[in-house]
Amino acid sequence: NAGVTQTPKFQVLKTGQSMTLQCAQDMNHNSMYWYRQDPGMGLRLIYYSASEGTTDKGEVPNGYNVSRLNKREFSLRLESAAPSQTSVYFCASRDLGNQPQHFGDGTRLSIL
Amino acid sequence: LAKTTQPISMDSYEGQEVNITCSHNNIATNDYITWYQQFPSQGPRFIIQGYKTKVTNEVASLFIPADRKSSTLSLPRVSLSDTAVYYCLVGALVSSASKIIFGSGTRLSIRP
């Protein structure tokens, strides 16, 4: 079982470049989430999607856009990358009701 | 969203029982309490979830007093492989349209 798959696993960008992080889940979950985690810190919610066709801002949405392409896929886009966006990005999905989140293994993004 | 407070770090030894307490004074009536574990370079992994009293599974127990303003994750007979960051989350999970916010977590170090 693949669960939540994130691509790429690693990426280095230059300031000002654009990038889309991909996330796909094969568990037929309704909700999907994007978090960032800076070194030694907890996870901060960037955006989430309660269901296909809907997206909402989390704690730190500035500088990011998202697309819930279909029920399986939820992408995160950096239009003009900045060094402050250097982080590890985690995607998660969750089913209806009081079900826990399932996380991917993360994308490690460095912006020079 | 209920804010949570956890100790920043804890140390223990192999074979000991470890209790990590989380404070959530503003917990709402329909909020659940969920604990996750995170190893370096991995996404968080669900450990246990509860609403009141005591919940036990194969890896941990969760104790929630009657006022629900705190909760305690109990790890029996820890081993070196339990060294990780543990996150306490509080939120209404009965709807998929829920933001799920992580705090800073507790860094648990287990020594031989």
Note the pLDDT of residue B79: 96
Name the β-bridge partners of A37: A43, A88
pLDDT of A42 over the 50 cut: yes
Helix, strand, or coil here: B81?
helix
B-interface mutation test, from A52, A89, A98, A99, most B Cβ less than 10 A away: A98
Coarse DSSP helix, strand, coil percentages of chain A, rounded to the nearest 5 percent: 5, 50, 45
The answer to whether B102 contacts A104, with C-beta atoms less than 8 Å apart, is no
Note the pLDDT of residue B98: 60
Note the pLDDT of residue B2: 64
Residues 6+ apart with CB under 8 A from A48: A31, A32, A33, A34, A55, A56, A58, B99, B100
Peptide bond into A39 cis (omega under 30): no
pLDDT of B93 over the 80 cut: no
pLDDT over 90 for what percent of chain A? 78
Note the pLDDT of residue A35: 94
Q: Which of residues 20-59 of A touch B (CB under 8 A)?
A: 30-31, 33, 35, 41-45, 48, 50-51, 54, 56, 58-59
